[in-house]
Amino acid sequence: MVDSGGTGPAVRHTILSPRSFVSSIFVVFLSLALILLGLLSGIAYFILRDDLTRSAQSEMAALVDEKAAAIQRWIGERVTHLDVLATWSRFDALGPWPARGQASTPTQERLLGELRADLRRWTVAPASVFTSVMLLHPESGRVLASSEPLDEGKIKRFRRYFIEGRHAPFIQNPFYSLSRNAVIMAVSEPVWRKDGSLLGVLVGEVGLQPLDGIVRRQSGLIASAEAYVVNNARLFITQPKHISNPAVLRRANYTDMVSRCLMGGSGVITADDHDGRSVIAAYRWIEARAFCVVAQAERQEVLRGVNRLIWSLLVVAVGALLVGMVVALFFARTLARPVERMAAAARQLGQGDLSVRLAETERNELGELATEFNAMADRLLERDRELRRSNRELEQFAYVASHDLQEPLRKITSFGNLILEEKSQALDQEGREYLNYIIDAGRRMRSLIDDLLAYSRVATRAAPFEPVDLSDLLTSVREDLELAIQDARADIKAAPLPTVMADPGQMRQLLQNLLSNALKYRKPNESARIDVTAARDASGKGCTLAIDDTGIGFDPAYAEEIFKPFRRLHGRSTYPGTGMGLAICRRIVERHGGTIEARGMPGQGATFLVRLPLEHVEGAPAHE
Amino acid sequence: MRARSFRGVAVVLVALGVWSAVEGRAADSIRFQLNWKPAGSFSGYYIAEDRGYYDAEGLQVTLHHGDHTTDTIALVSDGTADIGLTTADELVKARAAGRLVKAVSAVHQRSPIVFFALDETGIARPHDFVGKTIRVTRDVASTLHTMMGFLGIDHQSYDVVSLPSDPALFLSGSVPIWGAHISGLALRLQLAGHRLNLIFPHEYGVVSYSQVIFTTDRFLETRRDAVSAFLRASLLGLQDVLEQPGLVPALIAARDASADAAMERERMLAVTPLIVTGEAPVGWIDRDVFAYIIQTLVESGEVSAPVAVEAVMDDGPIRSVHGYHG
């Protein structure tokens, strides 16, 4: 994008570093992406978790209702069947039971035999409604007839199904039968004679396997879903799916859900189950049975979808992060590159390469900026050309003027001297004095012209740069100034000086001017003391020469003035000179890409600091 | 800042309260007299001891084992022990004899006595005992006579004999019907593969409690809360064993290296149906049952005069353990 005809170095450090700009955009993009992703993930997680929990709660509530209804239906069917049995047509023919210790009548024995056969039909296929059915004596609870012959003669007077069944139909919750060696339930109901007296109590025993089957039957989509029943003593009366040891009437359930249920409640809850697993459960109290039916599903499974979502989101997040990084980097680079190029172009422009231009390919604000930049560069280039032309003309004029002025001036002073030497007797005293004025003015004019020429030659007669050992050069300069040094009784101390890439002749002139300056402006009646030192810059790319004297110094207010051509701080009669020395110094230093400054106080000496690059690239200085 | 300080102070105060409460209760010691050597049926107490259930209740319980000669009622009556184990019948008899002891819980809700015969003999009901000889011990004889009396079978129609608990004697067939504890010889024979017909007195109207936890009237008056706490911790231990009978061997082995720990597990399983019947909460005692026991003992002449039910049982502690009040 940058069209540069210049050869200046590509310095990339500006106030707004392209790298920091890219980083900023990158971080902003990435942060936005992460925040958005985090927000979306969080919202999705909570919504899905609540939905799944609610869905599972509904499913468990439906399951517990279904199981409770099935249990009631199953028990109700047993009661209905016993009702049918209680209507056995020959009960009334049995007559009153004999007193204790007396035998039954033959008719009773016969009828009990028929009853026994009928009872047995209810315990075998296809009916298989009960595991056993028996008729109990209304007073003693003795088994009068049973589908199980061995049961006859047993006494059930302390069984609740007998005690309660004497008055009304009764369902006894699961209990352990030693003779059956199993947990069973029983339904009972009174059998009334036509005269209203109690003939006996009909009892049907049922095993729990069908109930267990009803409760444990799997339905729904949640694999961990299960239902179980707990009695009012907190004991399981159906076997929970996840308990391997026999739990019926052995294991107690002290969970929150059962506690709530036993208080007569129904509801849904997220709590720990009997195995300490976190479950979503629904519970229902069956008042008529004093049962607590619980349906539960593992929360972990219910929320597995959420967990999968979280993992998916994590994977997506990582992917999005990577993509986001690439995209952010791309965008950052895309946005930053034109800015970076503009910054580079501006730097080049600032370093004097006025040929640099930006490609105007963007059709946006950046494109407009490039257009404006190029227009500005065009204007600068035009101004620069004009300036250069003007400078060249001026320099040419100065050079030509000073060069061409030398000849008539030389003639004026030559002929003035000739007149003074050979024709002075033809002049009177006043004439000779005037002639001396002319000759002196001519000399001064010549000095001015020489200095002006020297000033202009810094640019017009410049030599290529080469390594210049400043220590050697200073020694040579001191030799050139030997007489002046002796005259000033000057003590010059020089530290080792570096070698720089420079124009040897101009460096000589620089040091000579600065030393001459220090010698000239020494304090009256005092010997001059001059220290020349050098120090490398912290960057290592340049050095600073310091020429420190103990002379008369100067007012700091004129620190910059003294470098202007023909600027003098003292009268010519006090300190002779044209006022061009320091101007030439500055021009030389600037041509070498350096700077020069003066520090001082009146009566306290002066210090001239010359900063020069150590590794000079040929052609780098543009101030010519 | 102030709320945080307040919470900190509150936490310290609660901690001090709990600590002082526990410390205060730790001094409540109870000597519990068992009626047998280390056995599987005592595993609930062992668990409560090992797992710190007694400690959690602020009790320092010391278990004292016994043997067939141990008169737990005498030991509790004379203050050697605070709480003991016995049968309901023995307790009623002791109360009738003037010992001021009361049942507070019954671990076995049914009689642990069973009559058994080899399946091949065809003896399957008490009615089949007529004309036969029946091996009994003292308490088994009482149960037998009560059961046969309920069935209207005269005592003279069968013979009883006292024999040591020896499988070889049983298998010899000389005495076809044996009466014993459900976790004794009958269990060993069944585990050895013999098919037995089991006749439970419980099925023929014999109602009784065994492994009855009792104490004195005075102890109940003065340390009623400790009794409730003892029952609560013991039944919690018992519940653990019922749920995990596999714990029994280690508990026994830790207390009696010479015991057959594996057999004790089987014994515990054998009595489990007596403990968890499904008809009453674990450890429950019922007034009607005690009234019936008293009546039966009076009718059999073992107790000369009726004893008030309230004198032989106090169901307050067990009701409080199960959350029944009033």
Query: Which among A178, A237, A251 is the nearest to B202, CB-wise?
Result: A178
Q: How confident is the model at residue A15 (pLDDT cuts 50, 70, 90)?
A: very low
Mean pLDDT for chain B?
90
Give chain B positions within 8 Å (CB) of A178: 110, 198, 200, 202-203, 273
Give chain B positions within 8 Å (CB) of A173: 278
Q: Which of A290-304, A606-620, B118-132 has the highest mean pLDDT?
A: B118-132
The half-sphere exposure of B17 on its side-chain side, counting CA atoms within 13 A, is: 6
Apex A359 CA angle, A358 and A363, nearest 5: 115
A404-441 residue pLDDT tens = 777 788 888 888 888 888 888 888 888 888 888 888 88
* Contact (CB<8Å) A158/B125: no
Strand partners, B143: none
Q: Which of B241, B219, B222, B232 is nearest to B319 (CA)?
A: B232
Q: Measure A268 CA to nearest chain B CA, in Å.
A: 24
Residues on chain B bordering chain A, Cβ-to-Cβ distance under 8 angstroms: 110, 124-127, 150-152, 198, 200, 202-205, 207, 239, 242-245, 272-273, 276-279, 281-282, 288-289, 292, 322
A101 in B contact zone (CB under 8 Å):
yes
Q: How confident is the model at residue B324 (pLDDT cuts 50, 70, 90)?
A: low
Whether A320 has a pLDDT exceeding 90, the answer reads no
Query: Considering only alpha carbons, which residue of chain A is nearest residue B242?
Result: A250
A250 in B contact zone (CB under 8 Å):
yes
A278 in B contact zone (CB under 8 Å):
no
Which letter does DSSP use for residue B304 in this model? S
Q: How confident is the model at residue A32 (pLDDT cuts 50, 70, 90)?
A: confident
Choose between A337 and B296: higher pLDDT.
B296
Give chain A positions within 8 Å (CB) of B273: 176, 178, 181
B298-310 residue pLDDT tens = 988 889 999 999 9
**CA end-to-end span of chain B:** 48
Query: Considering only alpha carbons, which residue of chain A is nearest residue B288?
Result: A158
* Contact (CB<8Å) B239/A178: no
pLDDT, position A19: 56
pTM: predicted TM-score of the whole model, two decimal places: 0.62
pLDDT, position A201: 96
Q: Would you say A612 and A605 are in contact if contact means Cβ atoms under 8 Å apart?
A: no
DSSP letter string, A10-61: -----SS-HHHHHHHHHHHHHHHHHHHHHHHHHHHHHHHHHHHHHHHHHHHH
A497-552 residue pLDDT tens = 988 888 899 999 999 999 999 998 888 888 889 999 999 888 888 899 999 999 99
B54-108 residue pLDDT tens = 999 999 999 999 998 999 999 999 999 999 999 999 999 999 999 999 999 999 9
A100-132 residue pLDDT tens = 778 888 999 999 999 999 999 888 877 788 999
pLDDT, position B114: 96
Query: Considering only alpha carbons, which residue of chain A is nearest residue B115?
Result: A179
Choose between A183 and A12: higher pLDDT.
A183
Greatest Cα pair distance, chain B, in angstroms, is 90
A155 in B contact zone (CB under 8 Å):
yes
pLDDT, position B282: 92
Query: Which among A100, A173, A176 is the nearest to B276, CB-wise?
Result: A176
List, as ranges, residues 225-244 from A with C-beta within 8 Å of B. Answer: 231, 233, 235, 237
The residue to which tokens 């339904």 are assigned: A187
Would you call B202 exposed, middle or buried from its count of C-beta atoms within 10 A (0-12, 13-18, 19+)? buried
Average pLDDT over residues B143-166: 92
Whether B109 has a pLDDT exceeding 80, the answer reads yes
Q: How confident is the model at residue A4 (pLDDT cuts 50, 70, 90)?
A: very low
B218 — alpha (psi -120 to 50), left (phi > 0) or beta?
alpha
Q: Would you say A523 and A550 are in contact if contact means Cβ atoms under 8 Å apart?
A: yes
State how far the Cα of B131 lies from the Cα of B133, in Å rounded to an integer: 7
Query: Considering only alpha carbons, which residue of chain A is nearest residue B124?
Result: A150
* Contact (CB<8Å) A178/B200: yes
Average pLDDT over residues A289-297: 91
DSSP letter string, A592-608: TT-EEEEEE-TTS-EEE
Q: How confident is the model at residue B14 (pLDDT cuts 50, 70, 90)?
A: very low
Query: Which among B203, B245, B278 is the nearest to A154, CB-wise?
Result: B203
* Contact (CB<8Å) B243/A237: no
Could you tell me where the beta strands, DSSP code E, fall in A57-169? 132-136, 143-146
B183-200 residue pLDDT tens = 999 999 999 999 999 999
Indicate the range of A187-191, A270-274, A325-329 predicted with least confidence: A325-329
Whether A489 has a pLDDT exceeding 60, the answer reads yes
Q: Which of B146, B187, B271, B276 to mutate to test the interface with A (most CBs of A within 10 A)?
A: B276
Choose between B256 and A463: higher pLDDT.
B256
A333-387 residue pLDDT tens = 777 777 778 888 888 888 778 888 888 877 777 788 888 888 888 888 888 788 8
Q: How confident is the model at residue A20 (pLDDT cuts 50, 70, 90)?
A: low
Whether A5 has a pLDDT exceeding 80, the answer reads no
pLDDT, position A216: 86
* Contact (CB<8Å) A153/B281: no
Q: How confident is the model at residue A593 (pLDDT cuts 50, 70, 90)?
A: confident
Give chain B positions within 8 Å (CB) of A174: 278
Average pLDDT over residues A309-337: 77
pLDDT, position A526: 84
State how far the Cα of A450 lies from the Cα of A427, in Å rounded to an integer: 31
